[in-house]
Amino acid sequence: MILSHFLLDVFILKREIIITSDGSSTIHIPEWDEQYHSKHGAIQEAYHVFIKNGFQYFNELDSSTTNQNISILEIGFGTGLNAFITFIEAKKLNRKIDYFGVEAYPVSFDEVEKLNYSKTLESGQYDDVFSKMHNLSWEEKHEITKDFSLTKQKKFFDEIEAINQFNIIYFDAFGARVQPELWTELIFLIMYKALKTGGVLVTYAAKGSVRRAMQAVGFTVERLPGPPGKREMLRATKAINN
């Protein structure tokens, strides 16, 4: 059993809902002094890292094949914020999405009810979508709409066995300070194999050791301006000539 399985299995870490600088909520883990999102703005961070530099970037690269579904893997489904904003943006861009969220420790229904994403995003017409994403059963593909499917898988990241399946990976694990074993060559090799050629992985992290681990398994890595409160973030591409 790797360290992250052990830590989260043995200690039932206390979780509490807090409000971040842009008014959106996140979950705080006091024992780790770690959040599910940036304290400087959960929604702002999610839009910058995953939507702007991940989904919108890939959509522009892939504009010749707009009739094809984009397949997205989220590493750490957690609060469902990234899935929800991807749903909203996919509507605007008129793209079809197959979304896969992997998560070993799902948030509780009680926690979901306390998250204010629908209200903060003023996404009135899609309010039911956020709760639906959480209420749907695990391990099955669900059509949220005809253009957006969601498959939630309850498992550990090192159990992912997909090969050449995804166009985009949202790599949103807890930071290397608290789960260093999730930012290693072992995990990034699993991600590299899971991506299709030409696919991209985006993450809020920018550490040199993380960038080097990505490069070691074959990724081409760019450093990009980070979200509020962070100087840089990383985008890793499974390049065509590798």
Ligand X SMILES: C[S@@+](CC[C@H](N)C(=O)[O-])C[C@H]1O[C@@H](n2cnc3c(N)ncnc32)[C@H](O)[C@@H]1O
Residue ranges in contact with ligand X by CB under 6 A: 4, 36-37, 74, 76-79, 81-82, 102-105, 156-157, 172-174, 179
Cα separation of 45 and 43, whole Å?
Answer: 5
Nearer to ligand X by C-beta: 116 or 220? 116
Only one residue has tokens 């961070």, namely 45
| Minimum distance from residue 207 beta carbon to ligand X (Å) | 15
Nearer to ligand X by C-beta: 81 or 195? 81
Cα separation of 148 and 101, whole Å?
Answer: 13
| Minimum distance from residue 119 beta carbon to ligand X (Å) | 17
Nearer to ligand X by C-beta: 13 or 239? 13
| Minimum distance from residue 18 beta carbon to ligand X (Å) | 13
| Minimum distance from residue 2 beta carbon to ligand X (Å) | 7
Residue 173 phi/psi, 5-degree rounding, is: -80, 165
Q: Could you give the count of Cα atoms lying within 13 Å of 201 in the half-sphere of its Cβ?
A: 33
Nearest-CA neighbor of 170 among 184, 185, 155, 157? 157
Nearer to ligand X by C-beta: 20 or 237? 20
- Residues facing 25 on adjacent strands: 19
| Minimum distance from residue 133 beta carbon to ligand X (Å) | 11
**Looking at beta carbons, which residue is closest to ligand X?**
78
| Minimum distance from residue 110 beta carbon to ligand X (Å) | 15
Nearer to ligand X by C-beta: 131 or 220? 131
Handedness of CA 227, 232, 236, 240 (dihedral sign): positive
Cα separation of 86 and 90, whole Å?
Answer: 6
Q: CA dihedral defined by 142, 161, 175, 227, rounded to 10 degrees?
A: -60
Nearer to ligand X by C-beta: 66 or 155? 155
